Amino acid sequence: MTELFVNPLSEIAEVSVGQHFYWQIGDYQVHGQVLITSWVVLGIIFVLSFLGNSNLKQTPDGFQNFTELVTEFIRDLAKTQIGEEEYLKWVPFLGTLFLFILVSNWSGALLPWAVLELPSGELAAPTNDINTTVALALLTSISYFYAGLRKKGLAYFKRYVEPAAFLLPINVLEDFTKPLSLSFRLFGNILADELVVGVLVALVPLFIPIPIMLLGVFTSAIQALVFSTLAGAYIGEALEDHH
């Protein structure tokens, strides 16, 4: 009976999209291409942050203007979703989410990863892999649970029986659907965009793919904004006082 239950789950866990470059670490296999492109994305963010903050001036100019604009945008996003009392504590988290997803998405839209050949598999944006988007969604879930428990203690769990006790199953189910919707929305949009561009480049390699690529840059930014906005909304909901 146990084997009948475990075997289908094992088969589902082995399902993957695309060709992957695996690294063997002990008894486990990890998607090496995700780690490679994630390190590139983190390197880009580090370089841009260094350029914008290495020589700060009282009157910003040059690249400092850009970094301060991004910082102000993330502060406004956090304030809108979380509220004025608590938002400053969550600016680093929401900012990290937004920047990592944005640069990851843009790397898939702008960098010719497919040109770089691997022994097996292919390179793509980190957010093109379901493992990355699920990890980001789980971090978000942990964060809003932490926010609620830190502020309210065990009284946080009263939200599951509000406004009525019979809503307990629905409220519990909602906490499971939040990370699922976050991860699959981001993964599906980025994967679909890269597949469409790849097909068009293969069929009509000159001018037609360019508008689609530009649209991909725009939608990639929207997906980063949606993910970080929802993360902030979930944290704000956890911090909200229910009466």
pLDDT tens per residue, range 24-76: 777 777 777 888 889 999 999 999 888 888 877 777 777 788 888 899 999 99
Rounded to 10 deg, the angle between the 168-203 and 87-110 helix axes is: 30
How many residues are recorded in the chain?
Answer: 243
Whole-angstrom Cα distance, residue 110 to residue 112? 7
Could you tell me the pTM of the whole model? 0.83
Q: Residues 133, 31: contact at Cβ < 8 Å?
A: no
Query: Which of 219, 232, 234 minimizes the C-alpha distance to 109?
Result: 219
Q: What is the pLDDT of residue 115?
A: 63
- Tokens representing 155 are 């009284």
Q: Under DSSP, is residue 1 helix (H, G, I), strand (E, B) or coil? A: coil
- Where do the domains of the chain lie? 2-239
Q: What is the pLDDT of residue 52?
A: 80
Contacts 24+ apart (CB under 8 A), 34-42: 34/126, 34/129, 34/131, 34/132, 36/123, 37/104, 37/107, 37/113, 37/123, 37/124, 37/125, 37/126, 38/104, 38/126, 38/132, 40/107, 41/100, 41/103, 41/104, 41/107, 41/126, 42/100
Per-residue pLDDT at 240 exceeds 70: yes
Whole-angstrom Cα distance, residue 205 to residue 23? 33
Q: Under DSSP, is residue 198 helix (H, G, I), strand (E, B) or coil? A: helix
pLDDT tens per residue, range 122-177: 778 889 888 899 999 999 999 999 988 888 888 888 887 777 777 788 878 888 88
Task: Determine the average pLDDT of the residues in 73-99.
Answer: 92
